[in-house]
């Protein structure tokens, strides 16, 4: 259910100015024209994720939608690693924020998922030693 705010001049119980609303806007529910027209679109070459076509998301829902979207990239990268017999050397997600120039609201404006793949031989060369020799190689038992 959406909450509707009274328009300017409408009576409000317990309001100031003799029960009248001033020109102030309630920023909890107010959505400016810029926020209303903002659309999100995925710029990656990953064909199976959401937001391939420009889609409007309200500022309140943008954070969860973007987190879900970036998680799709993470899942697809893991599936690709399994399919191609690769290992994921590192994977990170960075979220970007911005400030609406019209209303000043801070919102999540997008995200970037970065995945570095490698084959098993790449892991062996990571420290210059074989994969089996690498286990426990950095344990210091002198105490």
Cα(121)–Cα(80) distance, rounded to whole angstroms?
18
Which positions ≥6 away from 126 have C-beta within 8 Å?
Answer: 89, 134
pLDDT confidence of 141, banded at 50, 70, 90? low
Average pLDDT of the chain is 75
Contact criterion met (CB below 8 Å) for 80 and 62: no
Which positions ≥6 away from 21 have C-beta within 8 Å?
Answer: 6, 7, 8, 9, 10, 12, 15
pLDDT confidence of 58, banded at 50, 70, 90? confident
Decide the pairing of beta strands 87-99 and 55-56: unpaired
pLDDT exceeds cutoff 60 at 49: yes
Mean pLDDT is highest, among 6-15, 111-120, 126-135, for 111-120
Which positions ≥6 away from 68 have C-beta within 8 Å?
Answer: 50
pLDDT digits (tens, 9 = 90+) for 25-45: 555 567 799 999 999 999 998
pLDDT digits (tens, 9 = 90+) for 62-86: 999 999 999 999 999 999 999 998 9
pLDDT confidence of 22, banded at 50, 70, 90? very low
- Which H/E stretch holds residue 70? helix 59-83
* pLDDT score of 128: 53
* pLDDT score of 67: 95
Contact criterion met (CB below 8 Å) for 51 and 71: no
The DSSP line for 27-38 is TTT---HHHHH-
């Amino acid at each position: 259910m959406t909450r509707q705010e009274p328009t300017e001049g409408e009576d409000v119980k317990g309001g100031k100015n003799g029960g009248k609303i001033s020109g102030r806007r309630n920023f909890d529910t107010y959505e400016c024209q810029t926020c209303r027209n903002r659309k999100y679109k995925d710029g990656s070459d990953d064909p199976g994720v959401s937001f391939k076509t420009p889609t409007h998301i309200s500022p309140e829902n943008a954070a969860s939608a973007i987190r879900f979207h970036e998680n799709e990239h993470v899942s697809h990268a893991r599936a690709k690693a399994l399919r191609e017999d690769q290992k994921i050397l590192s994977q990170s997600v960075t979220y970007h924020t911005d400030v609406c120039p019209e209303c000043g609201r801070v919102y999540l404006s997008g995200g970037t998922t970065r995945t570095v793949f490698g084959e098993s031989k790449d892991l062996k060369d990571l420290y210059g030693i074989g994969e089996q020799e690498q286990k426990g190689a950095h344990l210091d038992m002198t105490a």
